[in-house]
Amino acid sequence: MIDASFATIFGREAAVTAAAPGRVNLIGEHTDYNGGLVLPLALPLEVRVAIAPRPDATVRAWSANVPEDEARAELTLGAERRTGGWIDYVQAVTSTLAGDGHVMSGFDLAIASDVPLGSGLASSAALLVAVLRGLRSAFMLALTDREIATAAHRAETEFVGAPVGVMDQLVASLGREGTALLIDTRTLDVADVPMPSGVELAVIDSGLRHQHATGDYRVRRDECMRAAARLAVPYLCALGRRDLPRLATLPAPLSGRARHVVTEHLRVAEAAEAMRAGDVETLGRLWLASHASERDDFEVSLPAIDTLVDLAAADAAVLGARLTGGGFGGSVILLCRAGEAAEAAIRVQRAYQTKTGHAGRVLLPGETERQRR
Ligand code: ADP
Ligand code: MG
């Protein structure tokens, strides 16, 4: 598919293709920049790229997933400049690789993705990792999967200027479908946590959009750093349950911010344990507690998203639900009884539409999973 698009756009054959998945974070929100645990899962949705090297230093790129008048973009290796457009993600990769001493020529690049852009499923990290994988094989670059993750992270934070943690890039590079990745964001140690049997995931896009690179996300990060400084710890997740009374002595909103981060970190460990034990009821309860904490303590939810989570939680097929991703919009994940996710997601999405007037969209189970049955 992506080879065919490449041939149509550039009038020649692609030399290599590569892909990387989007993700949902099962639990562990805003713990990633506080030295805590996160538990993302690679999705059966992915960004695919096709690449062919060029003899010059020009990069011509095309994406199937942006408005047609923005679909084509160009850059020159060595002259990368941030533009504010999607091409920045490609420039971020080439300039980061050059900075690390990797040698390559220009190339033509086609991109097609079924990870929705800006819905909290980490399309940006999937794009960066897919491009890095494609360039690794096109130019035989010496890069491990872990180095791809950290290069993608530096590309996104330093070049694109999005102050994101390393979770998205790690799971895009190291994640496998059906197995969650428990990541200690302080040490970058990872462990596999298989999805328990008897449950199936659904994802509903609220239709409300976040803006990572700006405003509120930065404010939250800053509040966490201030809370940690006041508590005289290097990062908030160094604190545990017995420190909770101390957090309450912080001024608002820092007390709530710190309480969310510390309790969320504990919930991730409990969730991983519940998944390993196959205790899906506990997992569902932890998701609901996580959402309440995002809503009340960290204040990254929105009233319509709270409605979406409440509607999901009231559905008989749903064991738990929560806002996933950075917040201020984005997607909600539903832990459903196996075999019931597709129907439950449609029921909940319709109820959400009726109640809030926002369309919402079922992202998972997607077309492919629905057809697979
Ligand atoms: P998320 O990662 O949650 O989807 P971000 O705001 O971090 O949201 O990243 C979305 C941005 O990534 C898009 O606005 C676009 O610039 C870029 N992007 C992601 N996927 C693609 C794609 N397939 N084609 C072009 N740009 C993409
Ligand atoms: Mg992103």
Query: Residues 37-57: pLDDT tens digits?
Result: 999 999 999 999 999 999 999
- Ligand 2 center from residue 164 Cα (angstroms): 8
Report yes or no: 349 and 204 within 8 Å, Cβ to Cβ: yes
**292 C-beta closer than 6 A to ligand 1:** no
Instruction: Determine the pLDDT at residue 213.
Output: 40
Instruction: Determine the pLDDT at residue 256.
Output: 98
Provide, rounded to the nearest whole percent, the portion of the chain with pLDDT above 90: 90
**Catalytic center residues:** 168
pLDDT at 118 over 80: yes
pLDDT at 321 over 70: yes
Instruction: Determine the pLDDT at residue 222.
Output: 96
Please provide the average confidence, as pLDDT, over all residues in the chain.
Answer: 95
**62 C-beta closer than 6 A to ligand 1:** no
Region 161-176: mean pLDDT is: 91
Residue ranges near ligand 2 (ion) with Cβ within 5 Å: 122, 124
Instruction: Determine the pLDDT at residue 331.
Output: 93
Q: How many helices (H) and strands (E) does the chain have?
A: 12, 12
Ligand 1, atom nearest to 86 Cα: 16
- Ligand 2 center from residue 56 Cα (angstroms): 31
Which regions of 238-330 does DSSP assign to beta strands (E)?
A: 318-324
Q: In this structure, what DSSP letter does residue 357 have?
A: S
Q: Which of 123, 324, 328 to mutate to test the pocket of ligand 1 (most atoms within 8 A of CB)?
A: 123
Residue 298, both tokens: 């960290």
Element (H, E) at 347: helix 341-356
Which amino acid belongs to residue 60?
R
Report yes or no: 227 and 254 within 8 Å, Cβ to Cβ: yes
Residue 212 binned pLDDT confidence (cut-offs 50, 70, 90)? low
Region 291-297: mean pLDDT is: 98
pLDDT at 140 over 50: yes
pTM metric for this prediction: 0.91
Ligand 1, atom nearest to 213 Cα: 6
Q: In this structure, what DSSP letter does residue 69 have?
A: G
Region 234-254: mean pLDDT is: 97
Q: Which domains does the chain have, with CATH numbers?
A: 2-192 (3.30.230.10), 195-371 (3.30.70.890)
- Ligand 2 center from residue 247 Cα (angstroms): 30
Cα-based distances in Å from 254 to 165, 245, 299: 20, 13, 11
Q: How far is Cα 370 from Cα 195, in angstroms, rounded to an integer? A: 19
Q: Could you tell me how far CA 348 lies from the centroid of its own chain?
A: 23
- Ligand 1 center from residue 221 Cα (angstroms): 21
Instruction: Determine the pLDDT at residue 373.
Output: 44
Q: Shortest CA distance to 232 belongs to which of 247, 222, 245? A: 247
Report yes or no: 271 and 286 within 8 Å, Cβ to Cβ: yes
